[in-house]
Chain A
Amino acid sequence: MSKLYSGAEIVFKCLEDQDVEFIFGYPGGAVLPIYDELKNHSSIKHILVRHEQGAGHAAEGYARSSGKPGVVLVTSGPGATNVVTALTDAYMDSVPLVCISGQVPTHLIGTDAFQECDTTGITRPCTKHNWLVKDIKDLPKILHDAFHVATTGRPGPVLVDIPKDIQFDKANYSKPKKVKKTNGKSHNRFSQNDIDELINLISKAKKPVVYSGGGVINSGPKASEALREFVRLIGFPITSTLQGLGAFPGDDNQFIGMLGMHGTYEANNAMHDCDLLINIGARFDDRITGKIDEFSPKSKKVHIDIDPSSINKIIKVDLAIVGDVNEVLKSTIKKINKKQNGIKSSNKQNISKWWEQIQKWRTKDSLGFINSKKTIKPQYAVQRLYELTKNQDTFITTEVGQHQMWAAQHYKFNKPNRWMTSGGLGTMGYGLPAAVGVQIAHPDKLVIDIAGEASVLMTMQEMSTAVQYNLPIKIFVLNNQYMGMVRQWQELLHEKNYSESYSEALPDFVKLAEAYGCKGIIAKNPEELDSKIKEMVDHNGPVIFDCHVDPNENCFPMIPSGKPHNQMILGPNDKKDNKITSKGKALV
């Protein structure tokens, strides 16, 4: 008979066989046997966070920057409920997470025991799948399945709830098997006919646009390479969603900027006027489409996605290609090259007029802003940060709000997996713990959290984690003393009634940094900004950078509520009065 292992040992044997190097977690009564076992497994390092939400976001940052699943270990009850926000965030943004939670012993389940909660019930809607382990014999298979489900198809979070008695129980261990497709869930369903149809549409298009999304990033670095090759081959303009930034170089001439609510004038107008729209790994999110019945009214639409349920969910498409982005792009490129049907030259002529139109839109300079010599404009701060960090491989995370949009607009990404932001769920407090996870995955790289002062206070305790593990993350706080995006909406939609959006009693961030044992830097005017940013970048340790910016600055361009893509509000330079109707206000 083979050797028997305890449940806790089996957990670690599984993690080892899944090549897990880091766990983000927080101990507690119901996971103590697993924590006890930690000392016997030197290949796995545990990162102690300060709050379970931080563990989840750190694991997300780790996963998104490395392409490997993030692993979270929490206790029962409050440990599990605290991680729910991060699980939901990962679910919305398709990040592979494996969360292991402790549970009260099997015989106490259902008795309202101390620190008991219905973890699998609570996390059912925010995970791809979850398991409550009721028999020690099932544990190895469940854990291996968990990794399989989290990382295949459209990635996402999973949770395995392990009662404390199961952690003590003994059973045999089995290695992961080559998993067959779970219940017939295949992901590459496209045929060569689909590819032919796509090439046919490409060759006919006169006003095409490529709209790429986070699916390209999730498909791996090879998918980004394929995207670059594909887009250069066909010569089409390309725009990207918030999550897709970095898949195509942000400073390339074919890149027309981010689209959507705070996207560029040229990207949104191209979406509206195009005759062919190729969606690659994006999901027609409402922040992208604006008013649905006026969304890209004249175009043939192609949707490439690994998740069949994303297709025709919001926008009806003419050609759906279900498959992994990388696979689809590779076979398309191959077919185009093989066909030699002259796409390369003739098509570029077909669309030369379209490019002229795009150049005209570009002259609007929709990301422009009126700079100031007295106060730091937040856009200027992001621009300077970009200029001073672009020659090294920099990883950016953000919180949620105006600063996030300014970062997306003004920081140019040239590689995938360098941009970690909470898009679907919009979780304030995401960026700081995510930066912790990114720095763990890339210890020698520069990791910056472009933050807002309101967001960053939600998970500020994780600075303590950064200090403990000597993670030199830089928290670049665009401090405007307001919940900026809330303030902006109140200004534009609620008659400047700034209800509860001003941050009273903000802490002194420099002193706060010092209290955590890291460096604090403050910048108040544009002249000192560059030297202070350099000081931050050069400091070998965590830094909180308190950048005082103009509190009244708004994030433009903006598609207001209830308007289609071609009716954007541009910045203060724009003369056209594009008022939001009272009807529009109701439609958020």
Chain B
Amino acid sequence: MANPKSAYSITTKKGKLDTHIFVIWVDNEAGVLARVVGLFSGRGYNIESLAVAEVDATKNISRITIVTTGTPQVIDQIKLQLKKLVPVHKVADFKREDKKVIFKEMALLKVVGKKKKIEKCLKACKSFNPVILDETKQSVVIQITALRREIDKMSKKLKPHGLTSTSRTGAIAMTRGAETFK
């Protein structure tokens, strides 16, 4: 629609979109991921990436990391809505620019080609802790850890050098220093 405004939800100004990383501690129970993800889709928030796994087997706690964009008002709503979910224990949100927080994403890159090409690729990956997980005469699987946009750049860069397949984890986050998020 040319004019998607609705009389009853016109925002005065379209606020600036920020990228935020949400870290959500939840009870590891059936359907909990669906609740979190369903909240995002149901309320029209977007998910750029999602990473989830159990982190405390005795307390049965999983940690979900979601990268999303929104206006400050939307970010605020996401946080408050998440906190209302029964299996959610706590919610942290960080701006992507936040210096106190480490964000990392892992990627597996499969490069197919001649030795020379593969070496070129490995060289390009140098600053992202490359680990060779598998090697054959005409292929290699490289593991790198980096920021989201760095991996974006890498996969663009390596495409012409024989990158055939990329697998990525989505960002995970941790605060710097001795403090933990309460």
Count class of interface residues, chain B: 20 to 34
B7 with A184: CB separation less than 8 A? no
Also in contact, A292 and B9, with CB within 8 A (given A183-B87, A184-B89, A313-B77)? yes
Contact with A along B82-108 (1 / 0, CB 8 A): 011111111000000000000000000
- Shortest A312–chain B CB gap in Å is 6
Q: In whole angstroms, what is the CA distance A256 to B89 when docked? A: 43
Decide if B34 touches A293 in the complex (CB within 8 Å): no
In the complex, residue of chain A having the shortest beta-carbon distance to the beta carbon of B77: A313
Q: Is A474 an interface residue (CB 8 A)?
A: no
Instruction: Give the Cβ gap from B96 to chain A, nearest Cβ, in Å.
Output: 22
| In the complex, B42 has a CB within 8 A of chain A | yes
Residues on the A chain within 8 Å of B11, using CB: 292-293
Contact: A309 with B7, CB < 8 Å? no
Query: B81 at interface (Cβ–Cβ under 8 A)?
Result: yes
- Chain B nearest CB, measured from A153 CB (Å): 8
- When the two chains form the complex, which single residue of A129, A134, A185, A308 contacts B30, counting CB atoms closer than 8 Å? A134
Chain B positions 116-173 with a Cβ under 8 Å from a chain A Cβ: none
Task: Check if A587 sits within 8 Å of B76, measured CB to CB.
Answer: no
Q: Does A586 contact B (CB under 8 A)?
A: yes
Supposing A125-B38, A293-B10 touch, asked if A309 and B5 sit within 8 A by C-beta, the answer is no
A293 to B10, CA, bound (A): 7
- At the interface, yes or no: B177 with Cβ under 8 Å from chain A? no
Q: For B34, give its contact among A124, A289, A290, A291 (CB under 8 Å).
A: A124
**Are A309 and B81 in contact (CB-based, < 8 A)?**
yes
Q: Are B7 and A183 in contact (CB under 8 A)?
A: no
Considering only residues 123-171 of chain A, those with a C-beta below 8 Å from chain B are 124-125, 128-129, 132, 134, 149
Cα–Cα distance between A182 and B86 once the two chains are bound (Å) = 7
Is A586 a contact of B9 with CB atoms below 8 Å? no
Find out whether the CB atom of B35 lies under 8 angstroms from the CB atom of A149: no
A1 at the interface (CB under 8 A from B): no
Q: Which residue on B lies nearest to A129, using beta carbons?
A: B86
Q: Report B-chain residues with C-beta under 8 Å of the C-beta of A149.
A: 86
How far, in angstroms, from A38 to B85 measured CA to CA in the complex?
33
Q: Assuming the A-B contacts A183-B88, A314-B9, are A124 and B31 also in contact, with contact meaning beta carbons closer than 8 angstroms in the complex?
A: yes
Shortest A291–chain B CB gap in Å is 6
Is A370 among interface residues, defined by CB-CB distance under 8 A?
no
Within 8 A of B (CB), among A287-323: 287, 289-293, 307-309, 311-314, 316
Q: How far is the CA of A154 from the CA of B38 in the complex (A)?
A: 20
What are the residues of chain B within 8 A of A583 when measuring CB–CB?
3
When distances are taken between beta carbons in the complex, the residues of chain B under 8 Å from A21 are none
Q: Which residues of B contact A491 (CB under 8 A)?
A: none
Q: Is the beta-carbon distance between A121 and B34 smaller than 8 angstroms?
A: yes
CB-based contact A584/B8 at 8 Å: no
- How distant is A27 from chain B, measured CB to nearest CB, in Å? 27
**CB of A120 closer than 8 Å to a CB of B:** yes
Query: Is B80 interfacial (CB-CB < 8 Å)?
Result: yes
A562 within 8 A of B: yes
Interface residue B58 (Cβ < 8 Å from any Cβ of A): no
Indicate with 1 or 0, residue by residue over B33-76, a CB within 8 angstroms of chain A CB atoms.
Answer: 01100100010000000000000000000000000000001001
Query: Of A124, A309, A584, which contacts B77 at CB under 8 A?
Result: A309
What's the Cα separation between A535 and B112 when bound, in Å? 89
Is B6 on the interface with A (CB-CB < 8 A)?
A: yes
CA distance A219 to B25 in the complex (A): 30
A75 interfacial by beta-carbon distance below 8 Å: no
B180 located at the interface, meaning its Cβ lies under 8 Å from any Cβ of chain A in the complex: no
Q: Closest CB-CB distance, B67 to chain A, in whole Å?
A: 21
Contacts of B85 in A (CB 8 A): 129
Q: Would A128 and B8 count as touching, CB distance under 8 A?
A: no
A252 contacts B by Cβ under 8 Å? no
Complex alpha-carbon distance, A286 and B8, angstroms: 5
Contact B31 A290 (CB under 8 A): no
Residues on the A chain within 8 Å of B5, using CB: 586-587
Q: Nearest chain B CB to A257's CB is how many angstroms away?
A: 20
Query: Residues of B contacting A587 with CB < 8 Å?
Result: 5-8, 10
Cβ of B94 to closest chain A Cβ, rounded Å = 20
Which of A132, A291, A312 meets B76, CB within 8 Å? A312
Residue of A whose beta carbon sits closest to that of B27: A183
What distance in Å separates the Cβ of A135 from its nearest Cβ neighbour in chain B? 11
Q: How far is the CB of B18 from chain A (nearest CB, A)?
A: 16
Residue of B nearest to A293 (CB): B12
Beyond A124-B35, A312-B73, is A588–B84 a contact (Cβ under 8 Å)? no
A-B complex: 3 closest residue pairs judged by Cβ atoms: A286-B8, A587-B7, A309-B80
A residues at B contact (CB < 8 Å): 120-121, 124-125, 128-129, 132, 134, 149, 182-185, 286-287, 289-293, 307-309, 311-314, 316, 561-563, 583-584, 586-588
9 contacts between A and B (CB under 8 A): A124-B31, A129-B86, A184-B90, A292-B11, A309-B83, A309-B84, A313-B73, A586-B1, A586-B3
Residues of B that sit less than 8 Å from A by CB: 1, 3, 5-12, 27, 30-31, 34-35, 38, 42, 73, 76-77, 80-81, 83-90
